[in-house]
Amino acid sequence: MSKLVQIPEDVHFLIVDHLDRPSKFRLTRTCHYFRHLLEPILYRHIKLGFTDCNHRLARLHRTLVERPSLIPHIRSYYGHVVSILPLMKSSFFERRIRRKKNKPITREEALEKAVYVFTQATNVVELEISSPWDWTSESNTALEPIRRAVSKMSLKRLIFWQGAVEVDRILRNQPELEKLEVGWDTSGLHLLDTTDLPKLKSLTAPLREAVLLVPGRPIEKLHVRQTFIDPDYFNDLWFRKLSLSTGHITEFFIHLFCMSGDEPYYVDERLRVALQVISRNLTQLERLTIDVSGSVAGQVILEEVPAFRFLRSLTFLEADLTAPSPNCVGKLASDNSQGNGTIRQVPVLESWDDVFDHLKRSCPSLVSTKLTWP
């Protein structure tokens, strides 16, 4: 061990970069040297699961309060603000986080520790507070110190859960924010000025929230999430607003959410309309990902994808290939006459490989095609 610690720290850092988190933790228990070396690394990225966050969160906050020198090393935080369950006297979680004097930790004490940690964590650049209540609302006065602390952070990435309210108060103070994820029914976005979030390049949001955030900002990557079939989902009015990004949107992720009972005609037409609306308004797309969650006809893809002039990568998620429905009339199906008495042959598409091969012939810029099942 004495020879090992004589190796320069820079070399040790290169070595431990190849270790996973449990291995790094075990290494900290071998000697004081490696504990001093690796603890800042272990606390750099904090991610707490939902099921075990009660006792782990309390233990984490207790450690950080007792050893505040570790707090400045935190760069990303994913987890709750305080425990999600009451720390009852008889609970299993409470027994695991008792103080040395065997005194239970109350919710007020847990909140006090959380406030101390967040007010000191000024170097956090990625934040997701996955609380079951809304920590952004002014009505939750107990968490006001947390909101003030977050507003003072210079964040690069911020994630709001669904139902977050009054988020404009926090976003106005994030001029360095580059990645933002918001959930459904997020309020306060319409109160933002176009000068807010001047460096926002990546956005994940439902369509209604996206049309409020994209115009006037340099969005390049856009992930539009949706959990239901909205009859107005694919329309030029909304997607025209998405085209108002000051930076061209080159990467786009969209959901079709085809239901299991949908007729093939409706699925094919939904895909056709989606591709037409996207190609008309997001003209600079280079990478397109479509979550189908159903079956589509390859004919529709061959007819509509060539409209994307700069497309380099095309990915379909959870998509089965089917024959075109009899009611789905498109360019290849209806205009198969050449006008001189000859009939143009519609390609036979038996597999996704056939679809992708035909696509690459008709789309010279397309270099990558994928079919992925998460």
Residues 89-124: tens digit of each pLDDT: 444 444 444 444 445 677 788 889 999 999 999 999
pLDDT over 60 at 162, yes or no: yes
pLDDT tens by residue, 311-370? 999 999 988 887 655 554 444 444 444 444 444 445 667 789 999 999 999 998 999 999
pLDDT at res. 240: 94
| Averaged pLDDT of the chain | 82
Does residue 245 have a pLDDT over 60? Answer: yes
Helix (H) or strand (E) holding 204: strand 202-206
Residues 6+ apart with CB under 8 A from 106: 87
Burial class (CB in 10 A: 0-12, 13-18, 19+), 312: middle
The Cα–Cα gap between 30 and 174 comes to: 41
Residue 173 has pLDDT above 90, yes or no: yes
Angle of CA points 40, 45, 48, to nearest 5°? 120
Angle at 52 between CA 48 and CA 57, to 5 degrees: 55
pLDDT value, residue 260:
55
Question: What is the rounded end-to-end Cα distance, in angstroms, of the chain?
Answer: 44
* pLDDT at 334 (0 to 100): 47
Partner residues linked to 288 by β-bridges:
252, 314
- Nearest in space to 309 (alpha carbons), one of 355, 369, 366: 366
3-state secondary structure of 322: strand
At 197 the three-state DSSP class reads: coil
Quote the pLDDT of residue 336: 47
pLDDT at 342: 41
- How many Å apart are CA 255 and CA 290, to the nearest integer? 6
